[in-house]
Chain A
Amino acid sequence: MNNMLMSEKKLETTQTKISAKDVNVYYGDTHAIKDVNVEIPEKTVTAFIGPSGCGKSTFLRCINRMNDTIDVCRVTGDILLDAEDIYDKRVDPVQLRAKVGMVFQKPNPFPKSIYDNVAYGPRIHGLAKTKAEIDEIVEKSLRRGAIWDEVKDRLHAPGTGLSGGQQQRLCIARAVATEPEVLLMDEPCSALDPIATAQVEELIDDLRSRYSVVIVTHSMQQAARVSQKTAFFHLGNLVEFGDTSDIFTNPSDSRTESYITGRIG
């Protein structure tokens, strides 16, 4: 397992995009995230791995404050985006989410046309004035979602009529259409076949040139293939965080080693 295909990807910057300090998350009495400290660099793909229920999704949702929508959820600690505390009272989560896009585990296109799915974000954020501009954004986003060729002839067909994998790529196109600075992806490939997965991975690699991408995945191979940084979570703790190559070849914690070699999880 340790000798997986590992693309030699150099980190382009070392500047920190997101930094979490002593983050704790509680769902009522459940302590889901325990004292997590992490620095996610800019223009990198960071993978979150760990066994089911260890809090990967929970931590991911903290970064765009989607946890605000869960009544019982309580977050303490600081998360800084470009050195600004996103949990500051003055921060409007709506504004934050325009900067930090999200792709969900289950594809969730709007029951509207493919075109409207992608155009919705730019419209509500006022990114485009004219129809031509929106057309352009839609095409560009669908191309970046690696789905343009499949849907270019039926842009006005409902997005829910696509296959699961196509829907997920549509959701990715929808997320990149708003030009976020950070893209959070929660197991984006769990509904996809190997071909679509490869396309999405290529896309993620592409996105790295402009955004920070954080991806939750259950596939070690995928983490190894697409990410430069890897964070291993276990029972709400961030056990290990470092360069992907180090984590996979030379983990410093025994739990990490057991997990990536398939002994726990």
Chain B
Amino acid sequence: MSDATPQAPRKSSSLLSVDTQTQKRNSAENRFKNYGLIAVMAGLLALVILLTSILNNGLSSFQQSFVTIEVELPEAKLDKSGTRDLTVMSKVTTFGYAPLLTAAMQAVIEENGVEIEGLTKKEIGGFVSKDSAAQLRDFVLANPEVVGTTQSFTFLANGRIDGYYKGRVTAASAELDKNVSPAQLQLADALLDAGVLTNGFNTGFFTKGDASGQRPEAAGLGVAILGSLYMMIVVLCLALPIGVAASIYLEEFAAKNRFTDLIEVNIANLAAVPSIVFGILGLAIFINFAGLPQSAPIVGGLVLTLMTLPTIIIATRASLKSVPPSIRQAALGIGASKMQSVFHHVLPLAAPGILTGTIIGLAQALGETAPLLLIGMVAFVKEFPGAPPEGFFDPASALPVQVFNWTQRSDPAFVERASGAIIVLLVFLILMNAIAVLLRRRFERRW
């Protein structure tokens, strides 16, 4: 019928040639794609720079110089009474042990026939870490029977010697440094040849507590890792059940009215509150009001729980919402109660989303520093917290706070340690995110 009305003859164009309109659209599309690509590249570049700088600075912290020497433990110096009575023996301080180390070092130098000009006795004693005397004393007090014998020990080398093998210290810089002399560096090279000085994996970095500013070589992340772990346990045990229960109530049971709207808006707002505010809140409530101890993982965990809750609630509500209503109807339709419908059908379907949200919340909490500073977790902690549950109340550190702490110190060796700690933190974060992805893959279901 339409044939009857004469139509303006449409210009027939070949599909093989592109018309101007299409050309314009295509070039606009290409431009947009390129902008996107540039944005992604810029992001990637920043990431690569960040990672290389951290890895460059930090990887060396996993390596450490050790000195293995035979130390004579004379009874005359360590236990004058000869009774092996610990109360008497502990009267000998680390100053009493230091000369033994110097003597042992001197012995090993002579034994290997090393001769270095201008090497003073003090420099020989200072070759090993200042921590070594304490290490020796601890060992002797723990094993009093070794007094009077000669034992082989592996000590940390002085931080500057350690730095020498990481390129941080050179003969030129040693000239100006009062902590190390060029002669000591020569000695290090000679002892390395003799096999007395070795460079190996730094297990102490993971097992030791923090150390004072003069002995960076002895500083480790052990207390921080344990403290972070304790806090994560507290956060997981509190934030997950509270968050999930709150979300289920709000999403499935609560009537939709002004009041619940208000709650919803406030939860969304809470997620955006700067974390330091939670720190102030924690200080006021948990420490000043409830009287919990400062620097304790329990307080850190509670503060981080407050901070993580909104994240978990938002993620949980989103995944509850994404469960199709037909599932709820199906359950209600065959006579399941609301609670049965939620717990038997809705929650299992929402679980992957909830788990992912929880892990992301935990990862966020793991990397959080500001609120912990306010509740005193920045303190210098050398001692490990005890086993749970009492350990939750002992002072501890946390990974990000330890990083913060180390970057504040003057010795450049701590910059290396801080970067190493960042690597450890990043590895934990990547692991947690990988677990989140795995869980999501594993439990994801279609309906």
Q: Are B334 and A121 in contact (CB under 8 A)?
A: yes
Do residues A108 and B335 form an inter-chain contact, with CB atoms below 8 A? no
Residues from chain A with Cβ under 8 Å of B337 in the complex: 94
Q: A125 CA to B335 CA in the complex, in Å?
A: 8
B326 located at the interface, meaning its Cβ lies under 8 Å from any Cβ of chain A in the complex: yes
- Say yes or no for B340: interface residue by CB 8 A criterion: yes
Instruction: Indicate whether A234 reaches chain B with its CB closer than 8 angstroms.
Output: no
Q: In angstroms, how far is the closest chain B Cβ from the Cβ of A81?
A: 14
Closest residue on chain A to residue B326 by CB atoms: A108
Q: Could you tell me the distance between the alpha carbons of A225 and B340 in the complex, rounded to whole angstroms?
A: 38
Interface residue ranges of A89-128 to B (CB < 8 Å): 94-95, 97-98, 101-102, 104, 106, 108-111, 120-121, 124-125
Smallest Cβ distance from B39 to chain A, in angstroms? 38
Complex contact A66–B329 (CB within 8 A): yes
B349, A95: Cβ atoms under 8 Å?
A: no
- With the chains together, A124 CA to B341 CA distance in Å? 11
Q: Which residue of A lies closest to B338 (CB)?
A: A94
A111 CB to closest chain B CB (Å) equals 5
In the bound assembly, the distance between CA atoms of A64 and B330 in angstroms comes to 13
Contact A175 B332 (CB under 8 A): no
Q: Does B95 contact A (CB under 8 A)?
A: no
Among A69, A95, A101, which residue has its beta carbon within 8 angstroms of that of B329?
A: A69
Q: How far is the CA of A71 from the CA of B445 in the complex (A)?
A: 29
Kindly state the interface size class of chain B when it binds its partner. Answer: 20 to 34
> Once the chains bind, are A94 and B336 in contact (CB under 8 Å)?
yes
Q: Is B192's beta carbon under 8 Å from chain A?
A: no
- Residue B331 at the chain A interface, CB threshold 8 Å: yes
| Chain A hits for B190, CB < 8 A | none
**Which of B326, B340, B349 has the largest count of A CB atoms less than 10 A from its CB?**
B326
Residue A171 CB within 8 A of the other chain: yes
Given contacts A71-B256, A104-B330, A111-B349, contact A160 B446 (CB under 8 A): yes
A158 nearest CB across to chain B (Å): 8
CA distance A109 to B328 in the complex (A): 11
A175 touches B333 (CB 8 A): yes
CB distance from A217 to the nearest CB of B (A): 18
**Separation of A71 and B325 alpha carbons in the complex (Å):** 14
Across the interface, do A120 and B344 meet the contact criterion of CB distance under 8 Å? yes
Flag if A94 contacts B335 (CB, 8 Å).
yes
CB contacts (< 8 Å) of A66 on chain B: these are 329, 332-333
Question: A178: CB under 8 A from chain B?
Answer: yes
Q: Is residue B245 within 8 Å, beta carbon to beta carbon, of the partner chain?
A: no
CB-based nearest A residue for B324: A108
Q: Shortest beta-carbon distance, A213 to chain B, in Å?
A: 15
When the two chains form their complex, are residues B447 and A69 in contact, meaning their CB atoms are under 8 A apart? no
Is B333 within 8 A of A101, CB to CB? yes
A178, B447: Cβ atoms closer than 8 Å: no
Assess whether A208 is interfacial by the CB under 8 Å rule: no
A145–chain B nearest beta-carbon distance, Å: 13
A108 and B446 form a contact (CB under 8 A): no
State the Cβ distance, B353 to closest chain A Cβ, in Å.
14
The contact of B326 among A71, A101, A104, A175, by CB within 8 Å, is: A104
Which chain A residues lie closer than 8 Å to B446 at the CB level? 111, 160
Closest to B445 in A: A111
Establish whether residues B344 and A111, one from each chain, have CB atoms under 8 Å apart when the complex forms. Answer: no
Asked, given contacts A104-B326, A160-B446, A160-B447, whether A110 binds B333 with beta carbons under 8 Å apart, the answer is no
Q: Does A43 contact B (CB under 8 A)?
A: no
List 6 other contacts, CB 8 Å, given A97-B334, A124-B334.
A66-B333, A71-B255, A104-B333, A111-B327, A124-B344, A175-B333
